[in-house]
Amino acid sequence: MECWLSSPEALAPKGIKFVFLCSHEPKDIFFIEDLHEHASLISEFMSRTLGVGDLKVVFSDNEVIGSDYILYSYKVFHGGDYVGTCRFVAYCNKLIKSLCTISSGIVFERS
């Protein structure tokens, strides 16, 4: 898995400070459970990169895009506060990309 961290100016009006964009080898997704390990990996990666200890990535819902894509949406929590969103993109039931956003409203205490 390769991830890039950015702070796009275009998302500032929405209060988004950080974007993590990750690409990885396609992985079969047939059940929400198939994404649990991936969610944990993303959570650990973001926590480590941002220097915080306890980001949690929790499944929220999913939606179809076109007829072949499904977006699996997750909420990101920090110490119980909702601080961001992850969207995992599956094409024909294969996970191909992950994108997480972290709010600018949260001030992280460096651990």
* Binding residues vs another protein (CB under 8 A): 6, 8-11, 13-14, 19, 21, 63-69, 87, 89, 96-97, 99, 101
Whole-number minimum distance, CB 111 to another protein, in Å? 28
Whole-number minimum distance, CB 110 to another protein, in Å? 25
| Residue among 23 and 49 whose Cβ is closer to another protein | 23
The CB density around residue 43, as the number of other CB atoms within 10 Å, is: 20
Residues 6+ apart with CB under 8 A from 95: 24, 26, 27, 28, 29, 35, 38, 88, 89
